[in-house]
Every structure is written in structure tokens, then in C-alpha cells.
């Protein structure tokens, strides 16, 4: 099954690449689609900074760059981290006075906390061809809007603690989600030979989210707050342009 999917993706990639005419990126501004993978390191602010520390994100996307250096992109990211603030009090109503959970075997349960989430955005912006090897790359200005979701993942290795099974666990995970807007300033490099293509950027994100759980077991009440949070992200991109290069010409005398 996996081999069939990989074969289909490969065939689609090859056939799609062949749809675009041969161009020279060195001396002309071109239209080109690109796929990319990205990694980011994020510092939270606002309401989520009270719950989470810094985290990472990995993702990818698809972007169209026009002949006038406008960019239109779709991007998705998976968020993950291990810094959960006040985790020692998160399960206090089912913990001993020492803050420990007793599992079904009568032992102290091993509990690990993670940050988990995802986001996806539609982005648009402009390439400003300064300090670049060709007119198709340089400084980039991007803005976008989309959706973000975040929660605490509570992991009990071996699932030995029935207090954290199924819906019981969901009552403590602080799941929240909502709309977000983003803006970034970066630099994109597209080599003339298509061998090295990357981008680095600083991105700011503003998110407005709502808690999704009907009841927060931590407080015993429904959380009706409107959360306002920020993310400050340093991102790197590895990019694959899908245009076809003009073949080199050789002359024999």
C-alpha cells in the first residue's frame, strides 16, 4: 500500500514538473510553483505563555511565485514542546498530598506532559530582489490568516492510571483553538543552478482562541475565557522549485 502511494506521488511530481516551460532564473523574473519543508522555534506570549514554554514546529507547504514576484502559499505545521508550566498542580484533585498519582496497581504512576498542536495558514506577500543572485529571490514580506489549536498531552506510560483514561484525560488537557493572523520578514535564496534553495524568516503570530472542553477538571468549572496569545518564531525553509531549467547549449567546431 505504502509503495503504491509513494509511486503515485512520484509520478504526480514528475508529470507536474513537466507542465512548466523551460526558463532561465538567472536573468529573468519567472512564474514558478514551489514545495517546501519548514522548521520553527517559537516563543509564546500572552495567555498561552502562562501555560507553555518555548516549543518547536515542523511543517510544509506549497507556494506560487508570480512573474511579478508576488507569492501565494498554503502552509501547515505541527507544534510540539515539553515545557508545561504549573504541571505539578494540574492534577491536584486526583493526586496525593505529595502531588503523585496512584495507579491501578497501587504504585505511583509515571506522568509525562507535552505540548501538542497544529496550525494552517493561507499566506501572501512579495519578494524584494535585493542582495540576491537573481531577480527571483531576496527579502520577503508575508502576511496570512488561518487556524491554530493547542493542548497539553498527558502521557501515562503503560496506561496504568484509570484516572487518566479516555474522557477523564481530556478534562485536564486545556484544549483550545481559534483564528490567527501572521506576518513575517525573511530572506529567500534561489540558486541559479537550482541546487540550493532556502529561506530564513522571523514570524509574528497573533491568535485568538477559546477553550473547547465543556468542563475543566482542574478547576471544576467551564472555562469561558477568551484567550489572546502571541508566538514569536524563527523559521528556516528548504524549498524545491518546480520549474524546468533551460538546457545548456554546447557548440562543436
SS3 212: coil
Query: Cβ contacts of residue 5 below 8 Å, gap of 6+?
Result: none
Strand, coil or helix: 12: helix
Set of cell numbers at residue 163:
484516572
Q: What angle do CA 81, 174, 146 make, to 5 degrees?
A: 70
Q: What is the pLDDT of residues 165-209, one digit of tens each?
A: 988 999 999 999 999 999 999 999 999 887 899 999 999 999 999
Task: Check residues 28 and 148 and name the one with the higher pLDDT.
Answer: 148
Residue the block writes with cell 518564531: 233
Hey, which CATH number is domain 2-245, 3.30.479.10, 1.10.287.110, 2.40.160.20, 3.90.226.10? 2.40.160.20
220 pLDDT band (50/70/90 cuts)?
confident
> What residue ranges do the domains of the chain occupy?
2-245
Q: Determine the average pLDDT of the residues in 215-226.
A: 88
Amino acid at each position: 500500500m505504502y509503495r503504491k502511494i509513494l509511486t503515485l506521488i512520484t509520478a504526480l511530481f514528475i508529470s507536474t514538473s513537466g507542465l512548466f516551460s523551460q526558463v532561465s532564473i538567472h536573468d529573468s523574473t519567472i512564474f514558478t510553483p514551489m514545495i517546501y519543508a519548514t522548521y520553527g522555534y517559537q516563543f509564546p506570549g500572552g495567555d498561552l505563555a502562562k501555560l507553555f514554554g518555548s516549543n518547536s514546529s515542523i511543517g510544509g507547504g506549497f507556494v506560487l511565485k508570480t512573474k511579478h514576484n508576488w507569492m501565494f502559499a498554503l502552509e501547515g505545521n505541527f507544534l510540539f514542546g515539553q515545557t508545561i508550566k504549573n504541571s505539578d498542580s494540574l492534577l491536584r484533585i486526583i493526586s496525593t498530598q505529595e502531588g503523585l498519582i496512584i495507579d491501578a496497581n497501587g504504585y505511583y504512576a509515571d506522568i509525562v506532559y507535552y505540548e501538542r498542536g497544529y496550525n494552517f495558514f493561507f499566506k501572501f506577500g512579495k519578494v524584494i530582489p535585493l542582495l540576491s543572485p537573481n531577480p527571483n529571490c531576496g527579502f520577503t514580506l508575508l502576511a496570512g490568516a488561518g487556524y491554530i489549536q493547542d493542548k497539553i498531552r498527558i502521557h501515562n506510560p503503560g496506561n496504568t492510571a484509570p484516572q487518566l483514561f479516555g474522557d477523564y484525560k481530556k478534562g485536564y488537557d486545556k484544549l483550545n483553538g481559534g483564528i490567527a493572523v501572521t506576518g513575517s520578514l525573511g530572506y529567500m535564496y534561489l540558486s541559479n543552478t537550482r541546487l540550493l534553495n532556502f529561506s530564513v524568516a522571523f514570524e509574528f503570530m497573533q491568535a485568538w482562541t477559546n477553550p473547547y472542553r465543556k468542563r475543566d477538571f482542574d478547576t471544576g468549572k467551564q472555562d469561558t475565557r477568551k484567550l489572546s496569545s502571541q508566538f514569536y518564531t524563527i523559521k528556516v525553509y528548504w524549498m524545491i522549485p518546480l520549474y524546468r531549467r533551460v538546457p545548456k547549449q554546447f557548440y562543436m567546431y
